[in-house]
Amino acid sequence: MTAHRFTPRGPLTGRIRVPGDKSISHRSLMFGALAVGTTTIRGLLEGEDVLATGRALEQMGAKVRKADDGTYSVDGVGVGTLLQPEGALDMGNSGTSTRLLMGLVASHGITAAFTGDASLSKRPMGRVIDPLSDMGASFTPSPGGTLPLITEGMQPAVPMTYRLPVASAQVKSAVLLAGLNTPGTTTVIEPVPTRDHTERMLRAFGVEVTVEEIDGEKHISVTGPVDMSPCDIEVPGDPSSAAFFAVAASIVPGSDLLIENVGLNPTRDGIFRVLKQMGADIDYLDPREVGGEPVADLQVRHAPLTGIEVDPDIAPSMIDEFPVLFVAAAMAKGATITSGLEELRVKESDRLSAMAAALKISGAKVQEREDGLLITGSSGEPLPGGGTVTTHLDHRIAMSMAVAGLASETGVEIDSTEPIATSFPNFTALIDEASA
């Protein structure tokens, strides 16, 4: 592991463009593989997680190619005709790839073995195994319901109506993807809204997706088997990646940064709404729609932040952004209270305890609770900085504490920058560019 110290710089200025949205990148490859014909994708995130998805789809018959101009093309095999992979599907660190591809395989007559790195192999897969088993697929996981695991698909699978026990776009998507090749109507009932990239993109590929609101809950249905048509996709900038720079520009004095082409799907933009509640100076320039997704350029200027009590109902729209929000809270005036965040304990790491420990090492005042953190901010004063932060091989811990280092007195050292490559390969280069 390569330790790296992120030290204070000048203000963040100029224009940057963050990598393509990871959720949309995964789905564009998967749906391209299920369409008959050639799908073209511009702006695909070339992180390890997305490339793992591409490799797995090639093992099941799709052809994924990259042109000299960076555009990707996917020649699909069609719904119902995925091929039996010869070897195990190595998912690396990607929970999204694993859970969604388990859904795809579940309604095809093939068997696939899923493997992953040490971090992914600790993450629970029971939440997708349960509903997909009810549709007819069978699973042989490792003890504790983790990877490595074997999925045996059932063709034809059995349609079902499934109420999500926890707010999870991955579980919703896995069931809907299984429904694409299942005769009859498969419905997911969503008590709490989660990111809706799957529904939006399925429509772009010609699938009829019905969404009804019944007694305050969303009922999302697909009727299979479906035929999917190829399409051209422009992947917007990842709001999760933009969030690191929005927080950095907010807390580093003198900053005035334009972040271009950021996806602002209402199920994903919670971090920007919460930052604005704290007093952040964020303007949305040139709002537009690209491929069914709302997009804008974000102008972010340094501003004094004030601690707030974060509404737990907003958590699903920013669940991955809480680590960097905790950094903003550590620099705010007064206390920031978060709750309802039990989900953060089963991410790539236990992000509540990992961020509490990391911020304390850097000189912040943090109290860890069962379902959130209570952070008393520095009123804009730089954090002292200090000893080496343990990232637990979690890319969001690593990047969040890198941002903390930019607004510290002596810098923050993280124990490894390697996990950052999974989602944001040019993160450090963009920091250098914006603070040059």
Order of all β-strands in the sheet with 281-290: 13-17, 256-263, 293-301, 281-290
Whether 299 has a binding-site annotation, put simply, is no
What is the Cα–Cα distance from 45 to 21, expressed in whole angstroms? 6
Residue appearing with tokens 């699909």: 76
Report H helices in 265-394: 270-277, 322-331, 351-361
What is the Cα–Cα distance from 244 to 224, expressed in whole angstroms? 40
Whether 195 has a binding-site annotation, put simply, is no
320 is catalytic: yes
Number of Cβ within a 10 Å radius of residue 237? 25
pLDDT tens column, 244-284: 999 999 999 999 999 999 999 998 999 999 999 999 999 99
Report H helices in 79-196: 95-106, 126-134, 169-179
- Predicted TM-score (pTM) of this structure: 0.80
Backbone angles phi, psi at 373, to 5 degrees: -125, 150
Q: Span 170-184, mean pLDDT? A: 98
Q: Span 319-329, mean pLDDT? A: 96
Domain with CATH 3.65.10.10 in the chain: 4-20+237-434, 22-221
pLDDT tier for residue 158 given thresholds of 50, 70 and 90: very high
Whether 276 has a binding-site annotation, put simply, is no
pLDDT tens column, 196-206: 999 999 999 99
Q: Bridge-partner residues for 151, per DSSP?
A: 112, 139
Name 286's Cβ contacts closer than 8 Å, sequence gap at least 6. 296, 297
Whether 351 has a binding-site annotation, put simply, is yes
pLDDT tens column, 378-415: 999 999 998 899 999 999 999 999 999 999 999 999 99
Order of all β-strands in the sheet with 232-234: 63-66, 72-77, 36-42, 232-234
Catalytic residue among 320, 350, 415, 432: 320
DSSP state, residue 360? H
Residue 395 burial (C-beta neighbours within 10 Å; 0-12, 13-18, 19+): buried
Whether residue 230 contacts residue 32, with contact meaning beta carbons closer than 8 Å, is answered with: yes
Q: How high is the mean pLDDT of the chain?
A: 95
Q: Quote the tokens at residue 310.
A: 């974060």
Residues of the chain above pLDDT 90, percent: 88
- Is the pLDDT score of 291 beyond 90? no
Whether 203 has a binding-site annotation, put simply, is no
22-221: which CATH number, 3.65.10.10, 3.20.20.10, 2.40.30.30, 3.40.50.620? 3.65.10.10
Whether residue 416 contacts residue 42, with contact meaning beta carbons closer than 8 Å, is answered with: no
CATH class of the 4-20+237-434 domain in this structure: alpha beta
Whether residue 240 contacts residue 321, with contact meaning beta carbons closer than 8 Å, is answered with: yes
Whether residue 395 contacts residue 423, with contact meaning beta carbons closer than 8 Å, is answered with: yes
Whether residue 415 contacts residue 2, with contact meaning beta carbons closer than 8 Å, is answered with: no
What is the Cα–Cα distance from 164 to 130, expressed in whole angstroms? 11
